Structure 1
Amino acid sequence: MDYDFKTKLAAEREKVEDLFEYEGCKVGRGTYGHVYKAKRKDGKDEKEYALKQIEGTGISMSACREIALLRELKHPNVIGLQKVFLSHSDRKVWLLFDYAEHDLWHIIKFHRASKANKKPMQLPRGMVKSLLYQILDGIHYLHANWVLHRDLKPANILVMGEGPERGWVKIADMGFARLFNSPLKPLADLDPVVVTFWYRAPELLLGARHYTKAIDIWAIGCIFAELLTSEPIFHCRQEDIKTSNPFHHDQLDRIFSVMGFPADKDWEDIRKMPEYPTLQKDFRRMTYANSSLIKYMEKHKVKPDSKVFLLLQKLLTMDPTKRITSEQALQDPYFLEDPLPTSDVFAGCQIPYPKREFLNEDEPEEKTEKNQAQQHQQTTAQTQAQQQSGTQQASTQQSSAQTNGNTGSTGANTGGGLQHGQDQGPPNKKPRIGPSGASSGTGVHQSEYQHSNSRLGYQSNIQGSAQSQGYSSSSQQSSQYSHQSHRY
């Protein structure tokens, strides 16, 4: 009887292959499975979905954690889990998500490649502000519901393409996410690997066993700097990426090379870190005496007295107890000055970024962070060589001009290749948006945002008719836009 019932029940279950067309549409890999671009076979809607197939013969703890969290969390800036499919015949699990055409890893890579091709196109500052605001708002919602993401990086920040949610940010890949009970009782985490090295907070690198949502804020600061410069601010070698030892010499060296060595008064509890003796043995304060975030960002034409720099400085505060919170960051003066953040990060522009490429089913796993680091180092070397060549040419031209009695100077405009449609805004304009509310109560926090009447101005009929302001999507740029793991 039980066998007949189970057979009948299995026959009535909805099968992914019967409902969705996805063959030949693999777009990448998540934390633990393949990701496919899919459409409904019955034509009930024209939406595009992301189907995530979990590998293996069972569900890992990471997968269970992601499913459990995503079924409860509802926010415009957190990727939505539409449905879970269980296939008893082949023991596969499928997760159905909204499909996002873009992510920050690809967007930043697009702009970095433009520099290497001597056609620098900077991310529009209005777009950067809108991206950062939506990331912070999504993380604020997670933190208000006692959830740490723990693996924030550009590849995990998705951006919706053309459609009703055009230009909305979606925080994805919740496989590392964890619940924490209270700000007064921070999570004691023993996982060997949490947060990709480049975006890992210094307290983690120094072996902190008790840490808080401040680790997500540090990662957001790293992403913010990368949006401003098109380069990972703390990139370094990534060998032994799965080591159980939290201390990573090269990563700390890179952080200190940019930020300077933390003074005792700036981070009093650093002496309590488990790896502090190793830090004292391996590092000398004077080595980094001339390093500071101000100097690093000035090289990228970000002034130290600007609101953008002041917010970045608060996000990248070494001492986690002094680091700004997501709620405080959402109220920062940076978001109150023009251009104001918008719900559509592409507002006023055509989307210049190529769509995701399909992969062959037998294609091997995509580039790891180690491969990405090598690729970034090669691109950086090419850019530096080109800059040196340009400097030599400029010097020659300047010498020639002085010989001829001219006082002109040569230079290239590297900052205005891309102009955002919101760059020219009316003065004294009140912000159109505000942070989600926080609550100290239990249970899942309902976002103040509604898709139809959100403070952020989420629109269901956003049109992309505005002409591009300096954007280009030539075949040459498209060919340099290689695929990287699609995170959901």
Structure 2
Amino acid sequence: MVVDIGRDEVTESYDAIEFGCNDDRKHIQLQFRKKKYISEGTFATVYSIRTVPDDDIRALKRVVKLPTLTNELKILQRCNGHPNICKMMAFFYSRFTSEPESHSDKQLYHLNILLEFLPTDLLTIIEHYKKDEQYTLPLLHCKLYAYQLLRGLNALHGNNICHQDLKPSNLLVDPRSGVLKICDFSNSSIFEKANGEPCEHVKFVQDVCSLFYRAPEHLIGTKYYTLSFDLWSAGCTLAELFVGEVLFQSDPAEPQPQLNAMMQVLGCPDESLHDLDSCQFKCQQLLQTSSLKEFLLRRQVSAVHLVGKLVRYTPASRMSAKDALAHPFFEDLHHLETNFKDGVPLPKCLFE
């Protein structure tokens, strides 16, 4: 139902299910106004809205109701309340009629997910600090954002969830408080059998994860993958956070050139990668033109070590998110006297 309230503002009203503390749920009448476009993906559009009558700013993700996307709802329910995962406030379904020429006037449904609103993302912050070919994001901020990314990832993996599309634009940030939260679970999978028991791996689906952050086991055509897929993406994201440049960026943006970009930094993989049911991989004899140490030249040695433990060709050899949280790179964050330069303390939720 849509109600016109004048002044060129429209209030939309829906029957929704609200999430409270301890996963409590109740039916509510959700009303909002001032719907403003933020971004759009393959299956979803994201808006900012203001709730009525509280006038709170929220994010509204509106997706076509497909089986793979209702999976996102399950994941948000399972992880709701973690300080580094975007919180779901409520959800509802809305009906629309598509264009006759494309869907024969068939009625479809939107799944609408009401989420907490954070004003920016990590990609925007990285771009902001790239000035005159210099990257000026303070090291403390790098550590803070990296720690929260790994903390959120540890929570996902602890719930048998593989995000499958970790990258800077899927990490929301509140610059004032320094809080970072993982968002967008459209491509995510729950590693569980039909009876609810966890499983170690699942079959690959095509084109998960943006190419520059995609793990090599996917690029070479292996049949199955594990939670370690996310660890490679996390390593690529941390490297970009630390220096402001994409770690492995192929041109053209295709699988084999992307593998070549990896080998130019990491060298050619050993035989362990060839054991991953691959029939597409071609290890060309490329000169290693760079290294992680050179790429991360302006950062601490411990930053090079951390990224190097994550971007390993063999999935089983990658450092877990839990172990990465204990890495010496984050030692400063545990000191009580550590604050931002203006004296503002670090987020209270950092170690809760």
Distance 1:293 1:323, change over 3 A: same
Q: Which residue of 1 aligns with 2:262?
A: 255
Q: Does residue 215 of structure 2 align to residue 191 of structure 1?
A: no
Answer whether contact 1:126 1:340 (CA < 8 A) is retained: no
Q: Distance in 2 between matches of 1:84 and 1:421?
A: 35
Distance 1:277 1:176, change over 3 A: closer
1:327 aligned onto 2:345: no
Give the total of aligned pairs: 314
What displacement does 1:141 show?
A: 0.5
Which amino acid is the alignment partner of residue 265 of structure 2?
V
Would you say the 8 A contact 1:85–1:95 is kept in 2? Answer: yes
SS of the residue corresponding to residue 143 of structure 1 reads: helix
- Cα deviation code 1:23-52 (max 9, x no counterpart): 4x111124522211111121x3x4310012
Evaluate the alpha carbon distance shift between residue 277 and residue 178 of structure 1 in structure 2; reply closer, same or farther with a 3 A threshold. closer
For residues 230 and 88 of structure 2, the distance between their equivalents in structure 1, rounded to whole angstroms, comes to 22
Contact 2:204 2:225 in 1 (8 A): no
CA distance in 1, matches of 2:172, 2:56: 17
Aligned-pair CA distance for 1:22: 2.6
Report if the CA contact (8 A) 2:221-2:281 is conserved.
no
Q: CA deviation at 1:308?
A: 1.6
Query: What is the alpha-carbon distance in structure 2 between the residues aligned to residue 121 and residue 333 of structure 1?
Result: 23
Q: Does 1:21 align with 2:11?
A: no
Secondary structure, in 3 states, of the residue corresponding to 1:312?
helix
Equivalence for 1:416: none
Q: Is structure 2 residue 58 aligned with structure 1 residue 49?
A: yes
- Per-residue deviation, 1:290: 5.0
Instruction: Give the distance between the partners of 1:184 and 1:269, measured in 2 at CA.
Output: 25
C-alpha separation in 2, matches of 1:186 and 1:49? 36
**How do 1:289-308 residues align onto structure 2 when only pairs under 5 Å count?**
289=288, 291-298=290-297, 301-302=298-299, 306-308=301-303
RMSD over aligned CA atoms reads 3.1
Is 1:456 the counterpart of 2:348? The answer is: no
User: Percent identity of the aligned residues?
Assistant: 26
Is contact 1:197–1:238 with CA below 8 Å preserved after alignment? no
Q: What TM-score does the superposition give when structure 2 sets the normalisation length?
A: 0.79
CA distance, structure 1, for counterparts of residue 92 and residue 279 of structure 2: 47
- 1:263-282 aligned at under 5 Å gives the runs 264=270, 268-275=271-278, 278-280=281-283
Query: Does 1:106 pair with 2:101?
Result: no
Residues 157-192 of structure 1, C-alpha deviation per residue, up to 9 Å, x if partnerless?
111255xxx321110010111111399942232311
SS in 1 for 2:115: strand
Cα-to-partner distance string for 1:286-328 (whole Å, 9 max, x where unaligned): x224543223333xx236xx21211111111222111100111
How far apart, CA to CA, are the structure 1 residues paired with 2:200 and 2:132?
Answer: 42
The alpha-carbon distance between structure 1 residues 259 and 115, as it changes in their structure 2 partners (threshold 3 A), is farther
User: 2:276 corresponds to which letter in structure 1?
Assistant: M
Give me the whole-angstrom Cα distance separating, in 2, the residues matched to 1:14 and 1:127. 37
Q: TM-score scaled by structure 1?
A: 0.58
1:157-236 map, 5 Å? 157-162=171-176, 166-181=177-192, 185-236=199-250
Comparing 218-227 with 176-185, greater Cα deviation is found at: 176-185
Deviation, structure 1 residue 138? 0.5
Which deviates more, 79-88 or 181-190? 181-190
Equivalent residue, structure 2, for 1:288: 287
Counterpart position of 1:367: none
Given the superposition, is the C-alpha separation of residues 29 and 17 from structure 1 closer, same or farther in structure 2, using an over 3 Å criterion?
farther
Higher strand share: 2
Cα deviation, residue 213, structure 1: 1.2
Correspondent of 1:67 among 62, 67, 73: 73
Unmatched segments (≥5 aa) in structure 2: 1-12, 18-27, 98-108
Q: 1:51 to 1:294 in 2, by over 3 A?
A: same
Structure 1 pair 215–341 and aligned structure 2 pair: CA distance change class (3 A) = farther
C-alpha displacement of 1:76: 0.8
1:97 partner letter? L
User: Judging changes above 3 Å, is the alpha-carbon distance between structure 1 residues 18 and 325 closer, same or farther for their aligned structure 2 residues?
Assistant: closer
3-state SS of paired residue (1:288): coil
Contact 2:150 2:321 in 1 (8 A): yes
Q: Whose relative contact order is higher, 1 or 2, with alpha carbons under 8 Å and at least 6 apart?
A: 1
Contact 1:129 1:340 in 2 (8 A): no
Structure-2 separation of matches of 1:214 and 1:149: 10
Deviations 1:129-171 (A, max 9, x none): 0101101010100101111101101110111255xxx321110
Match for residue 36 of structure 1?
47
Question: 1:203-259, CA deviations, whole angstroms, 9 ceiling, x for partnerless residues?
Answer: 21111222211111111110111011101111123556xxxxxxx111001111111
Post-superposition offset of 1:456: 2.3
The 3 A distance-change label for structure 1 pair 341 and 315 is farther
C-alpha distance after superposition, 1:441-488 (max 9, x if no partner): xxxxxxxxxx9x74626xxxxxxxxxxxxxxxxxxxxxxxxxxxxxxx
Assess, with a 3 A threshold, how the Cα gap between structure 1 residues 347 and 456 changes in structure 2: closer, same or farther. Answer: farther
Q: Tell me, which stretches of 5 or more residues in structure 1 are unaligned?
A: 1-10, 241-247, 350-419, 423-431, 433-450, 458-488
- Report the AA paired with residue 234 of structure 2: I
**Structure 1 counterpart of 2:312:** 317
1:261 deviation in Å? Answer: 1.4
CA separation of 1:273 and 1:82: change in aligned 2, threshold 3 A: same
Query: Match for residue 105 of structure 2?
Result: none
Aligned to 1:474: none
When residues 421 and 253 of structure 1 are mapped into structure 2, their CA distance, relative to the original with a 3 A threshold, is: farther
User: Relative to structure 1, is the Cα distance of residues 18 and 137 closer, same or farther in structure 2, using a 3 angstrom cutoff?
Assistant: closer
The amino acid of 2:85's aligned partner reads V
Residues 133 and 341 in structure 1, CA contact (< 8 A), matched pair in contact too? no
